[in-house]
Structure 1
């Protein structure tokens, strides 16, 4: 489909990408909202925690929400989305990826940008309930990449899957990693690395035979983390093999349900190949919106409702 013209025009202060990113991640608050947790067992013996919130009126429509790297289902970009969906007669299921719900998962493996097997299990669990006729999926950053990979890697999707929206998506993981390693993103990279290393130490205490102090000390960058842990724990050769196999860019041509990608031009996490103009132009199911502003999972909006929260509602309502 043609590239969509964006109407997003925030106040001057929020035209700065870093300010937009930091405000959304550290300052924004979403109040008056409650979730109920459900734990599901996975086929490999591990578990996922799902945080549910329901529309006041009984609904047969569900949105599944997927967070980003080192996020969880209580991040304000998740709760803000769920709250607005609930107000528009969608139930919401916010997924905590393995090890992200406040409790370490049971296996040495955890989550990663291409772990669509876990999303498939969530959808299978939801469909067993037989309550929902229509399922929509919204993913942010890492979760957006996972969503697009899921939509494009399977020849046949459950008929209940109607549409997807992906926000601030690193469609090319290697390109995004290179951006995160650049000086402009040093503070973000340090924060990610600190949290990831803390979790890796927890893994080491549970599985000391699988990771050594020497290997942990060798991790200087986020790419090193993917070389030492992510790739090895999830059966990839190395970080580059992981990025190559799991980047959603290669799966976009095969997507058949309506899918909207919103990536801001001033998103400091995204390289040039994370803006899939050619792929969208050749696939009638794909829509790409590239606002000038918004940062990474930012997109400030009035009344504490972000621009992308409104756009997701509009897109899904047009694909009921």
Structure 2
């Protein structure tokens, strides 16, 4: 079987089916040894930011290495695609660390400030701490959607400031141009409803925890992501517009050409959120591998009736074959 070829059955090919099933809870049913072994960890960065994560170690150390998983926007360490990917990696002998971005999962209480996708330094700091603790064993990083964007920015930053022990990066369905992605979400009723519900719930939790600091009532009746972003930024940030904010974590054209860390980017031509044209316009370095599949939707890439993620096999193959010098 060619590990780089995804050929799902006809009923699993529609982008909408792939995208919905990627986060469907039924995929995570059954015993999960990775979850059973998980231990909660709170990492404190040099700037005092606290991030919540879960470390799962093998009962018998196999020294294959540790994989750090980053979820997407309004996902968490408990997202289906994180749990299933972690289960697969754990079953193949890897330790797994599931890191929550700020204000994701049950972590809203850990920081007074709210989450912004431009807050890269705190995630880099957390990844560096995890990697330092693993020395001399190898560490790998895999991110999904917005987490994939973070993973690529971390890989880029490593060209100037390497993270000791970090050997490979894999980015699944990464957001490259958040301005375009926002428009696509707003134009898709089902996807828009999904993200509006999750974002409103997250903001409500934050407001309840810090009622003297936040009042998001002006956002709750807005029916699109762009306008919610504009209103949030106008009141609680120094950004003058969503466009300016989005440019702070956009990855297009030459933005990834300086990556030296071995990096794999996986996307689908039929992704309903991320335009595939943006990937064709990327100018990448020799250390970056771009895989574009005809099917897969967003974060899907499911390949059979068991609804397993095809990219899981790619990750294992990539991480197991990473050379010590990578």
Question: Scaled by the length of structure 2, what TM-score is found?
Answer: 0.87
Corresponding residue for residue 198 of structure 1: 201
Is 1:120 aligned with 2:121? no
- Comparing 15-24 with 38-47, greater Cα deviation is found at 38-47
Corresponding residue for residue 251 of structure 1: 255
- CA gap 1:21/1:186 in 2 versus in 1, 3 angstroms: same
Deviation string for 1:124-150 (max 9, x for gaps)? Answer: 322442444311100000100011011
Give the gaps of 5 or more residues in structure 2. Answer: none
Asked whether the equivalents of residues 29 and 76 of structure 1 are also in contact (C-alpha less than 8 Å), the reply is: yes
- CA gap 1:291/1:317 in 2 versus in 1, 3 angstroms: same
What is the DSSP-based 3-state SS (H/G/I as helix, E as strand, rest coil) of the residue aligned with 1:7? coil
Shift in Å, 1:210: 4.6
Deviation string for 1:73-120 (max 9, x for gaps)? Answer: 122211221122222222110111222222423434333433322222
From the two aligned structures, give the one with the greater helix fraction. 1
Asked whether the equivalents of residues 108 and 233 of structure 1 are also in contact (C-alpha less than 8 Å), the reply is: no
Corresponding residue for residue 285 of structure 1: 287
Corresponding residue for residue 9 of structure 2: 11
What is the DSSP-based 3-state SS (H/G/I as helix, E as strand, rest coil) of the residue aligned with 2:256? helix
How many residues matched?
A: 313
Corresponding residue for residue 263 of structure 1: 267
- Comparing 89-98 with 121-130, greater Cα deviation is found at 121-130
Give the gaps of 5 or more residues in structure 1. Answer: none
Is 1:236 aligned with 2:235? no
Asked whether the equivalents of residues 76 and 100 of structure 2 are also in contact (C-alpha less than 8 Å), the reply is: yes
Asked whether the equivalents of residues 20 and 299 of structure 1 are also in contact (C-alpha less than 8 Å), the reply is: yes
For residues 266 and 62 of structure 2, the distance between their equivalents in structure 1, rounded to whole angstroms, comes to 27
Shift in Å, 1:296: 0.8
Asked whether the equivalents of residues 148 and 251 of structure 1 are also in contact (C-alpha less than 8 Å), the reply is: no
- CA gap 1:45/1:87 in 2 versus in 1, 3 angstroms: same
Deviation string for 1:284-319 (max 9, x for gaps)? Answer: 011111111111111113455310111111122232
Q: Could you tell me which of 198, 203, 220 is aligned with 2:223?
A: 220
- CA gap 1:156/1:17 in 2 versus in 1, 3 angstroms: same
Asked whether the equivalents of residues 177 and 222 of structure 1 are also in contact (C-alpha less than 8 Å), the reply is: yes
For residues 227 and 132 of structure 1, the distance between their equivalents in structure 2, rounded to whole angstroms, comes to 45
Relative contact order, higher structure (CA 8 A, sep 6+) = 1
- CA gap 1:43/1:187 in 2 versus in 1, 3 angstroms: same
For residues 5 and 127 of structure 1, the distance between their equivalents in structure 2, rounded to whole angstroms, comes to 28
Is 1:95 aligned with 2:96? no
1:76-87 counterparts in 2 under 5 A? 76-87=80-91
Corresponding residue for residue 185 of structure 2: 180
Asked whether the equivalents of residues 77 and 99 of structure 2 are also in contact (C-alpha less than 8 Å), the reply is: yes
Asked whether the equivalents of residues 141 and 169 of structure 1 are also in contact (C-alpha less than 8 Å), the reply is: yes
CA RMSD after TM alignment = 2.5
Corresponding residue for residue 307 of structure 1: 310
Asked whether the equivalents of residues 52 and 107 of structure 2 are also in contact (C-alpha less than 8 Å), the reply is: no
Asked whether the equivalents of residues 153 and 251 of structure 1 are also in contact (C-alpha less than 8 Å), the reply is: no
What is the DSSP-based 3-state SS (H/G/I as helix, E as strand, rest coil) of the residue aligned with 1:193? helix
For residues 313 and 230 of structure 1, the distance between their equivalents in structure 2, rounded to whole angstroms, comes to 40
For residues 59 and 243 of structure 1, the distance between their equivalents in structure 2, rounded to whole angstroms, comes to 41
Asked whether the equivalents of residues 6 and 303 of structure 2 are also in contact (C-alpha less than 8 Å), the reply is: no
Corresponding residue for residue 142 of structure 1: 146
Question: Scaled by the length of structure 1, what TM-score is found?
Answer: 0.88
Shift in Å, 1:156: 2.4
Corresponding residue for residue 109 of structure 1: 113
Is 1:63 aligned with 2:62? no
